[in-house]
Structure 1
């Protein structure tokens, strides 16, 4: 009876180890690597490898002139990003006017590529509808 209990316990540990490997080391899961162009939806968090830097798209302020309107000023979209590495958090903002052109976070350069959708008419776009593209290298 004792041997059966030990065998069952060993089998359970092997099964637990296998299931953890499937969760944390999924070979089918695409990894995001520093230098890649990242596409983040509002509120989405990605982890960048090999440095294990988390990045999240926190918010956007969009004052760009809608495409179907004539404006005296083109306006801009400003995005706020959140970063974490080794339990240390930082935030930063980038905008479509490229001032600043980049920010430095955990020794890496972050650049804004695009903020979409571009407004077509003078009505607000919900935060949840925005997507940003950035590069961190």
Structure 2
């Protein structure tokens, strides 16, 4: 009986550790870019669903949500590290394409400045609720803000 209990504890520990790994969802790349009909405004937060691209009101900047990797600790699990949500963005400004990764963890890069405009990730939704339920990449929405420097 003691051996069975130890085996069950080891299995449960493995599930918890797996759910907190950085490869929980992996870096999933977008293959079907959708262009959003909504523009964003400099200085205002905006939502960017996975696999879509959005332009600012004067069409000089386009941002695409290209990839997501989510190792944030699910709400129903106790982890030793809070984890990180990482988004890969393609930013086209004045005809030049840049690719960058922004993070939810406060000790990781969550903003970048390109051509005098700061792009910041303020949220990544939805937050993982359970280690048992993976989030489809199509469900992710990055909340961003672009501000003139």
CA displacement, residues 93-126 of structure 1 (integer Å, 9 cap, x when unaligned)? 1101132242112221011110011001113211
Structure 1 residue runs of 5 or longer lacking an equivalent are: 1-28
- Residue in structure 2 matched with residue 130 of structure 1 by the alignment: 140
Structure 2 residue runs of 5 or longer lacking an equivalent are: 1-36
- Please give the root-mean-square deviation of Cα atoms over the aligned residues, in Å: 1.6
- Residue in structure 1 matched with residue 91 of structure 2 by the alignment: 83
Taking the aligned partners of 2:42 and 2:142, their CA distance within structure 1 comes to 16
Q: CA deviation at 1:30?
A: 5.7
Question: Is 2:120 aligned against 1:111?
Answer: yes
Q: CA deviation at 1:32?
A: 2.2
Instruction: Compute the TM-score of the two structures, normalised by the length of structure 2.
Output: 0.67
Taking the aligned partners of 1:112 and 1:133, their CA distance within structure 2 comes to 6
Aligned partner of residue 72 in structure 1, secondary structure = coil
Hey, which of these two has a bigger chunk of helix by percent? 1
CA displacement, residues 23-65 of structure 1 (integer Å, 9 cap, x when unaligned)? xxxxxx7642111111010011111133620001111100000
- In 2, are the aligned partners of 1:34 and 1:50 still within 8 Å (CA)? no
Count of equivalent residues: 109
Mapping for residues 1-137 of structure 1, pairs under 5 Å: 31-50=39-58, 52-98=60-106, 99-122=108-131, 123-137=133-147
Over 3 Å counting, the alpha-carbon distance change for 1:40 and 1:31 in structure 2 is: closer
